[in-house]
Chains A and B, each alone.
Chain A
Amino acid sequence: MLRAGCQLLTQSTLPAVKTGSNGFALEFVRWRRKPRWLPVAKSKIFRVPERKKQTEEERTELMRLHNRYKTQLRSVRQYLREEVVRHEETSTVDHIVLTPEQEEAEYQALIAANAEWNATIAREREQRLAKERDEKVAYVHERLEARQLRDEERRERANEAVLREIERSKTYITREGLNAAIETALANPVDPNFAIDMAGNLYQGRTTSQLPDADPQPDQQALSN
Chain B
Amino acid sequence: MPSYELALVLRQLPRPELISVIRRTAEAILDKGGIIRKLENLGTRALPHKVSEHGVVHRVGTHFTIAFDTAPTKISDLKEEFGRDIDIVRRYIFKVEEPEEHKCTLHEEMLPPAYRKDVQQLIATAQKKQKPKYNYNSGLDYYPFQK
Contacts and interface: CB of A to CB of B under 8 A. Distances in A.
Interface of A: 168, 171-173, 175, 178-179, 181-186, 188-192, 209-211, 213-214
B43 A182 contact: no
A186 B44 CA distance: 10
A217 B46 CA distance: 18
Nearest to A186: B41
Contacts of A184: 39
A172 B40 contact: no
A171 B37 contact: yes
A172 B45 contact: no
Interface residues of B, number: 22
Given A186-B15, A186-B19, A209 B45 contact: yes
B57 interface: no
Q: Considering residues B15, B19, B39, B40, which has the most beta carbons from chain A within 10 angstroms of its beta carbon?
A: B39
Contacts of B51: none
Contacts of B42: 189-192
Nearest to A179: B23
A213 B44 contact: yes
Nearest to A169: B35
Interface in B23-74: 23, 26-27, 30, 35-46, 60, 64
Contact of A191 (B15, B26, B43): B43
B94 to A, nearest CB: 14
Given A185-B39, A186-B15, A189-B41, A173 B26 contact: yes
B19 A182 contact: yes
28 contacts: A171-B37, A172-B37, A173-B37, A175-B27, A175-B30, A178-B27, A178-B30, A178-B36, A179-B19, A179-B23, A182-B19, A182-B39, A186-B15, A186-B18, A186-B19, A188-B41, A189-B41, A189-B43, A190-B40, A191-B42, A192-B42, A209-B43, A210-B45, A211-B43, A211-B44, A211-B45, A211-B60, A214-B43
A213 B43 contact: yes
A172 B35 contact: yes
Contacts of B45: 209-211, 214
Given A210-B46, A214-B45, A185 B23 contact: no
Contacts of B36: 172-173, 178, 181
A130 B7 CA distance: 66
A172 B35 CA distance: 7
Contacts of A185: 22, 39-41, 64
Given A175-B30, A182-B39, A189-B42, 17 more contacts: A168-B37, A178-B23, A179-B19, A179-B23, A181-B36, A181-B39, A182-B22, A183-B19, A186-B15, A189-B43, A191-B43, A192-B42, A211-B45, A211-B60, A213-B43, A214-B43, A214-B44
A94 to B, nearest CB: 60
- For the complex of A and B, the 6 pairs showing the least CB-CB separation, nearest first, are A214-B43, A185-B39, A173-B36, A189-B43, A185-B41, A210-B46
